[in-house]
Structure 1
Amino acid sequence: MDPRFSAQDVLRCDLCEIPVPPMYCDFCYVRLCKACVGEHLSDLSKEHKVESFKQRRSTQNFSKCSTHKSKPCELHCAKCDIPVCSLCISGKHKGHTFLDIIQIFNDKKEEMKNDLQELEKCLHSKYEGIASEIGVEKSGLDGQYGKLTTAVIKQGEDWHREINITVNKQKSEIDEMKTKHLAALNKQEKDIKQITSNVKQSILDLKKILDSNDVSLISVYISRNAEFRSLPPKVNVSLPSFSHKKINTEQLHQMFGSLSALSITTEKHGHTMKTPEAVSCPPVKPLLDEPKLITTIDTGYKYLYSDTCLSDEEIWTCGEDKIMKLYNLQGKLLKSIKTKSRNIPRDIAVTRRGDLVYTDPYRRTVNIMKNRQIQELIRLQGWKPDYVCSTSSGDLLVTMNSDDGEQTKVVRYSGSTEKQTIQFDSEGKPLYSSHYFKYISENRNLDICVADYGASSVVMVNEAGKLRFRYTGHPSTTKETFYPYGITTDSQSQILTADCDNDCIHILDQDGQFLRYIDSCDLQLPWGLCVDTRDNLFVAEFFSDKVKKIKYM
């Protein structure tokens, strides 16, 4: 072992390695013997402060420089935000601004002491008090929600009673009509039997007269055939019918009654603010008979891939370019962000905190922009990330393909930590086709929707990853095969997916039942989709480079 790095070795001059140097430069953080002081001060490119080694600032435990392994990091590069050693000043950090790491150290320690005092004397007791209040509130939930359940059950019983009354009334009317019908038929039957008896008697009388050759009887005979030829009127009865009315589920729910929305709020200094994760039952919004085009935004891309809402007034876009663009609804470009690798992003999403996330399959990374800086959030091995969405819980869902293109899976991440993998169904068969486009979204029920282009289907699994259904298109006048591209969901948990080849959008309910198309608004190759908090649809058109805002509910 080199004795200079031995724990038993004495301190040496950093320039000539003479033991026990008596001097020290406080600005350059180097130890100096008396002979080397002049040489060190001759470097006029830097400021120096040479003093007795004993009078230098208190020695701290510095980390070792990653570039110069033997040198302690006694400075902090403000530009790169990392600790560096004195030799880095003239190296790759030349020209950067440097901070006094001792001052940073002291400031941090003071900050930590203040934090500790606040945690011990204030915050801890406050949180314990809040936890106690939550416990009390939880204990009362059964009674409160029990009253709601009782009210709903009673309403159901009232409805059942009224329905039974209506059913029994109509059954009585049916029995009464049947009795009248039977009486009419009985009367007709009795009349016919009487006439039939008269006909038989006439036949017997005629035969008797003819056999007797009695001139007097024959001379007084009067024929009744004309009477019998006039058949009695036939009774025609028009049977009653039951005209049932189709049950309008929406009106039924409205007539039955509804629950007011559950609203979870946070309260701060007397001000109540709605939280993004507030749980509520959204009001039913019917689909418009004719969707309306509200506005069009030109993005300037050669090919436009994806869009995602930052707010109801701002939308991020990405396309065949290394630059991601933020626009307002007037079409004004607000911000442009270049990818860290200068590669074209495959897909984008916005987190609950408003941070932009994008996938870079060429570098196998998922990246996030925080504080105007792009950071690598996830790096994969053997897999390439393709499409991404942000969930209501703050997680990220990422579709990815294996390097050989033979496998596809969905992975859930909390930050950079993998939490869940969704790849196979209950029989061990792949849920998704390999390769191709697979846009992804989560609905309000926490179901995970994937537009599987390669399988010509929308694949829905629940939060646990269990298959719920596959939607493979709807019989219609569309000319081309159903190949889904972009996918999104709205406040009603309805699923909207882009059918690019047929220039339309399919709308499904939360169980995969087809509701209708959006095939108006002059759609041309719809590709990426997203909705804002007001359920306005934003459609990214692949070739036209336009984002169209459409009102459909």
Structure 2
Amino acid sequence: MMDPRTSAQDVMRCDLCETALVQMHCDTCLVNLCTVCVGEHFSADLSKPHRIVDVMDRNSTLLYHECISHEKERCEMYCIQCHIPVCHTCLASDQHLGHKLLKILQVLEEKKEKITKEKNELNETIYPTYQDTLSDVQNRMSQLEKKYGDLSTAITKHGENWHREIDKLVQKLKSEVEEMKTTQLHTLQKHLDEVNKKISNINDEINLMDVALDSNDMSKVFSFMSKVEEYKNLPHKILPSLPKFTPGRIQEELGKLFGTLSSISVRSEEHGYSIKTTQKSPEAASSPVIKQLLDEPQTVTTIHTEYRFNLYNVACLSDEEIWTSGTGNMKLYSIKQGSLLKSITTKSGDTPEDIAVKNSGALVYTDYWDRTVNIVKNEEIQTMITLQGWRPHNVCSTSSDDILVTMVSDDGKQSKVVRYSSSTEKQSIQFDDQGRPLYSSGYDYKYISENRNLDICVADNKAKAVVVVNQAGKLRFRYTGHTPAPQNKPFSSRGITTDSQSHILTADYYNDCVHIIDQDGQFLRYIVCGLSDPWGLCIDTNDNLFVAQCTNKQVKKIKYLQ
């Protein structure tokens, strides 16, 4: 097999006529020539000392540098200090006086020796090492494929074991249901038999009455004893109680019970040192997946809540469950089944002003009337913050697990946003750079959310605006709605939330829609989807939107991103 690095790719042809085969070569101009074109090449440039050789002897003539200072002078020496070739005229000047000079041929030989040595090192040591490295990496990849396959098989097998145990549990519960049904049907059948017997006796009694009525024998009539009073005592009404199935909560704990994966590490070793990086999964990339807005948002499901009056807020506990709050209390619902899982009344008994879910899964709520911010852990309520001179409105949990609370002064003249770490105040946001209030005064709602870029977004209902400040509290922009609105009514912002694309979404109560704007305040789209009186909003980890509809007390799950 020919070496691709040295083998010719085609028959060489003359560089001048481009048709005849090459026989000669000009070592001065590095041009391939046929015998016919040699004369033409000489006459084309008579200023050069053309050296014509057989093509097989090409590149046998050394080409000296032409001096950059003296035209047509050949450089036959090399200045070690200046690292440049020099000609004899240069040597006659004082330019290189005292410098170490070598014949350029000697320098050339040394350079070629160095190149030869490095070439041999590449061919004999480095190149084979890279080949071995390539083979090693390929082997590791093959082993990795096998081991990950074994890991997936083990998980699948464990899942099958779980399915068998769950099937047994399901069958056991169904058997218990059948036994309960049989017991209660037997009781009802026994009762049915007794009622039928009574009916038969009543028919017999009626026949005896007919005989007495048709008889002329006075002794028979006087001897007849009626049992009507006995039959007025009607049978007891049997009301069997049906058993109720209460599904266990499926949360993150299920994953822990099933089993978990350890983290992976990728280590790079260089010169004995190692750099270790750890990551949980390929999805843990720093940049989010780019998702496009759907042309037509779609309603995925509707959850009917059990509030007597109004529904105000919604917060995602997980992709399976949502917290809601309305008149009186807070309720946890299964998204898929739409069933009520839990109901919690506030510590004071008042309606919660707002709710949020912390990274730990704990529920936080604000109580306007008793001036507190509270946290619910294992169904126990603990007061985190008690305000003096201020009343809390709305709340959100941040990526750092702080909480942001909007609040109003007792006299209604001031509003601000306060950041808390646990119960410690870390930041207060109230004024812009000119000392003017960022938020409207009064007791209106001011829903709040943190964006992915750590901006703080407030839906200021009275101001009819979304006010966005950066993490430091400096005003970035105000969004005041978009025209035309679906119902052609003034912008009336309520709930607010953000998604993985840094979109800001806010409910527009009077226009029965949700506005989507980008992180810089540019309007993108409305979500309508048959909404009615939209109030609270939240987003799950898959960027599904949940909208709490105030008056009809329903929560809509809406898909709006691809």
TM-score, length-scaled by structure 1 = 0.50
Q: Which residue of 1 aligns with 2:324?
A: 317
Q: Which residue among 273, 287, 307 is the counterpart of 2:314?
A: 307
Q: Which residue of 2 aligns with 1:86?
A: none
Q: Which amino acid aligns with 1:377?
A: M
SS in 2 for 1:501: coil
1:492-542 C-alpha deviation (Å, 9 max, x unpaired): 0000000110011100001000001112x2110111000000000000001
> Kindly tell me: are residues 422 and 140 of structure 1, through their superposed partners in 2, closer, same or farther at Cα, counting changes over 3 Å?
farther
d(CA) in 1 for partners of 2:452 and 2:517?
14
Deviation at 1:300, TM superposition (A): 1.6
Q: Which residue of 1 aligns with 2:491?
A: 482
Q: Which residue of 1 aligns with 2:530?
A: 522
Q: Which residue of 1 aligns with 2:395?
A: 388
Deviation at 1:279, TM superposition (A): 6.3
Q: Which residue of 2 aligns with 1:359?
A: 366
Q: Which amino acid aligns with 2:466?
A: V
Q: Percent identity?
A: 62
Q: Which residue of 2 aligns with 1:297?
A: 303
Q: Which residue among 320, 328, 331 is the counterpart of 2:338?
A: 331
d(CA) in 1 for partners of 2:519 and 2:473?
16
2:293 aligned with 1:287: yes
| 1:98-247 aligned within 5 A | none
Deviation at 1:454, TM superposition (A): 0.6
d(CA) in 2 for partners of 1:537 and 1:492?
13
Q: Which amino acid aligns with 1:486?
A: G
2:448 aligned with 1:440: yes
| 1:360-379 aligned within 5 A | 360-379=367-386
d(CA) in 1 for partners of 2:417 and 2:506?
18
Q: Which amino acid aligns with 2:489?
A: E
> Kindly tell me: are residues 140 and 441 of structure 1, through their superposed partners in 2, closer, same or farther at Cα, counting changes over 3 Å?
farther
> Kindly tell me: are residues 343 and 140 of structure 1, through their superposed partners in 2, closer, same or farther at Cα, counting changes over 3 Å?
farther
> Kindly tell me: are residues 264 and 542 of structure 1, through their superposed partners in 2, closer, same or farther at Cα, counting changes over 3 Å?
farther
| 1:440-479 aligned within 5 A | 440-478=448-486, 479=488
Q: 4+ runs of 1 displaced by more than 4 Å?
A: 272-275
d(CA) in 1 for partners of 2:507 and 2:408?
21
Asked if structure 2 preserves the Cα contact closer than 8 Å seen for 1:316 and 1:327, the reply is no
Asked if structure 2 preserves the Cα contact closer than 8 Å seen for 1:505 and 1:518, the reply is yes
1:285-326 C-alpha deviation (Å, 9 max, x unpaired): 110000000000011221011000000110000011134334
Asked if structure 2 preserves the Cα contact closer than 8 Å seen for 1:327 and 1:335, the reply is no
> Kindly tell me: are residues 314 and 323 of structure 1, through their superposed partners in 2, closer, same or farther at Cα, counting changes over 3 Å?
closer
SS in 2 for 1:549: strand
Q: Which amino acid aligns with 1:402?
A: S
Asked if structure 2 preserves the Cα contact closer than 8 Å seen for 1:264 and 1:274, the reply is no
What residue ranges of structure 2 are gaps of 5+ in the alignment? 1-266
2:519 aligned with 1:510: yes
d(CA) in 1 for partners of 2:496 and 2:504?
7
> Kindly tell me: are residues 335 and 477 of structure 1, through their superposed partners in 2, closer, same or farther at Cα, counting changes over 3 Å?
closer
> Kindly tell me: are residues 264 and 274 of structure 1, through their superposed partners in 2, closer, same or farther at Cα, counting changes over 3 Å?
farther
> Kindly tell me: are residues 481 and 367 of structure 1, through their superposed partners in 2, closer, same or farther at Cα, counting changes over 3 Å?
same
d(CA) in 2 for partners of 1:319 and 1:481?
25
Asked if structure 2 preserves the Cα contact closer than 8 Å seen for 1:474 and 1:514, the reply is yes
2:548 aligned with 1:544: no
Q: Which residue of 1 aligns with 2:404?
A: 397
Q: Which amino acid aligns with 2:475?
A: L
Asked if structure 1 preserves the Cα contact closer than 8 Å seen for 2:412 and 2:441, the reply is yes
> Kindly tell me: are residues 375 and 429 of structure 1, through their superposed partners in 2, closer, same or farther at Cα, counting changes over 3 Å?
same
Q: Which amino acid aligns with 2:548?
A: A
Asked if structure 1 preserves the Cα contact closer than 8 Å seen for 2:321 and 2:332, the reply is no
Number of aligned residue pairs: give it.
288
Q: Which residue among 406, 421, 428 is the counterpart of 1:414?
A: 421
Asked if structure 2 preserves the Cα contact closer than 8 Å seen for 1:326 and 1:336, the reply is no
> Kindly tell me: are residues 383 and 324 of structure 1, through their superposed partners in 2, closer, same or farther at Cα, counting changes over 3 Å?
farther
Q: Which amino acid aligns with 2:314?
A: D
Q: Which amino acid aligns with 1:485?
A: R
> Kindly tell me: are residues 508 and 140 of structure 1, through their superposed partners in 2, closer, same or farther at Cα, counting changes over 3 Å?
farther
Q: Which residue of 2 aligns with 1:498?
A: 507
Q: Which amino acid aligns with 1:474?
A: H
d(CA) in 1 for partners of 2:356 and 2:406?
13
Q: Which residue of 1 aligns with 2:352?
A: 345
Asked if structure 2 preserves the Cα contact closer than 8 Å seen for 1:412 and 1:418, the reply is yes
1:334-356 C-alpha deviation (Å, 9 max, x unpaired): 11111111111000000000000
Deviation at 1:327, TM superposition (A): 3.4
SS in 2 for 1:388: strand
SS in 2 for 1:399: strand
d(CA) in 2 for partners of 1:279 and 1:264?
12
Deviation at 1:274, TM superposition (A): 8.6
d(CA) in 1 for partners of 2:274 and 2:489?
57
> Kindly tell me: are residues 264 and 393 of structure 1, through their superposed partners in 2, closer, same or farther at Cα, counting changes over 3 Å?
farther
Q: Which residue among 518, 535, 542 is the counterpart of 1:534?
A: 542
Q: Which amino acid aligns with 1:480?
A: K
TM-score, length-scaled by structure 2 = 0.49
SS in 1 for 2:510: helix
Asked if structure 2 preserves the Cα contact closer than 8 Å seen for 1:324 and 1:339, the reply is no
Greater Rg over alpha carbons, structure: 2
d(CA) in 1 for partners of 2:331 and 2:371?
18
Q: Which amino acid aligns with 1:455?
A: A
> Kindly tell me: are residues 477 and 343 of structure 1, through their superposed partners in 2, closer, same or farther at Cα, counting changes over 3 Å?
closer
SS in 1 for 2:332: strand
Q: Which amino acid aligns with 2:441?
A: S
1:462-490 C-alpha deviation (Å, 9 max, x unpaired): 00000000000112144110011000000
d(CA) in 2 for partners of 1:264 and 1:282?
19
